[in-house]
Amino acid sequence: MRLSIIGAGYVGLVSGAAFAEFGHDVIIMDIDRERIAKLQRGIVPIHEPGLDRLLDKNSDRISYTSNMEEAVREADIHFICVWTPPLEDGSADLSAVRAVARELGKQFVKLKVKTPIIVTKSTVPVGTGVAIQRLVRQSYKGDFSVVSNPEFLRESQAVADMLRPDRIVVGSNDPDAAKTIAGVYHDVNAPIIMTDLATAEMIKYAANAFLATKISFINEVANICEIVGADVERVAEGIGHDPRIGKAFLKAGMGYGGSCFPKDVRALHQFSNASGYDFKLLKSVIEVNEQQRQMIVDKVNKHLKILNGKNILVLGLAFKAHTDDVRESGALDIIERLQIQGANITAFDPLALLNAKKKLNDLVILVGNAHEGAVGADAIIVATEWPDFKELDWERIQSVMRKPLIIDGRNLLDPSEMRKLKFIYEGVGR
């Protein structure tokens, strides 16, 4: 099949690379000409393990363009993979999706395209597919179909998730178009859920909201554990063996972040309100996530009393390990809260320093290693669960700190080992 990918971000590049691996001819389009120029030179503009190799392996089946006309001319099926960031009220910003839909309609007319299929991979609220149909119809009067084929990709594991998905969701009010899109995944060994457009759009939001709910739930359990002297890590282990619950997403800490969970939970909550339903549970999920970040700051305050002029090293800036993505990162949120109280912040991350620098103010000192940042520190906050942080020379770090305080926001370190090294150690819920 001939496929176009509109949007060369995480979803677009990973999807395009995987579709080429499945044997399809793929053209990836983005209005960012600099990004397309890099891709044409073999430079992948994002960090995603295995993506560069997959793109290179299938380079004979992948082309890149910043020209929508070329993308439409070279494909029969068009995947919308643009980002849908949150607006101030929490709802999804669909301006990029709408712009793509309008432009596709114009190009269908110009190129006299017959029976194209438009597929949304971007996370969009229920009703977006129907809205896309209306926007395309403003220009194009021929037959076309809209299909929802949401992505379920985890950053740092996105390539594996796309090549070996646990399920594929295809939703459309046109059964023939749905079958065509299911055929894109012809060699993939995964169940395919065929449904209508609205249901497919809801599945994506419901999935992310449920996972975020698990995270907020275990964080609430962690907070009770701290009060009564229980260990949330063992609690999570004890309940996670129950197959009705499962072990995934039962890691207490600073809460969820990244490009998906925060925006999707807020968007579903806002969409529910706009639809006349008060989704009380999601409101609590959001509140708990905010609370967890403040809780880390409160722990620092408890030990240092006054933060003005205190030196704090933040270990980890990415929203999770094995990625350079700092969108909705808990670390960046905590840094801002600490700076409001006058703390001096030094920070280190193995991958995300460059992206973090674009978001942080000039008062944050970014260092090349943890040992450098620990000199004279009054506290260390472990904000990202990088495995490398376990292997640091903590004895050496303790010797150069002004006050050997560790606030482990990810429960990454062994409390007993840290205390043996004469650290004042605080985790989350243990």
Q: Closest Cα to residue 95, out of 83, 104, 113, 107? A: 83
160, burial (CB in 10 Å: exposed 0-12, middle 13-18, buried 19+): middle
Alpha-carbon distance values, 239 to 2, 21, 206, 224 (Å): 47, 39, 22, 16
Does residue 260 carry a catalytic annotation?
Answer: yes
**Residue of 260, 282, 331, 379 marked active site:** 260
| CB-CB contact of 169 with 193 (8 Å) | yes
Q: How far apart are CA 71 and CA 82, in angstroms?
A: 15
Alpha-carbon distance values, 251 to 38, 42, 153, 236, 423 (Å): 37, 37, 19, 7, 23
Q: How far apart are CA 389 and CA 41, in angstroms?
A: 34
Q: What are the residues whose beta carbons fall under 8 Å from the beta carbon of 159, sequence distance 6 or more? A: 14, 17, 18, 48, 49, 50, 51, 54
- DSSP state at residue 244: T
Q: How far apart are CA 221 and CA 342, in angstroms?
A: 31
Q: Closest Cα to residue 4, out of 65, 85, 84, 46? A: 65
Type and span of the H or E element at 336: helix 330-340
C-beta neighbour count of 90 within 10 angstroms: 17
Half-sphere exposure of 260 (CA within 13 A, CB side): 21
Query: Among all residues, which ones are annotated catalytic?
Result: 260
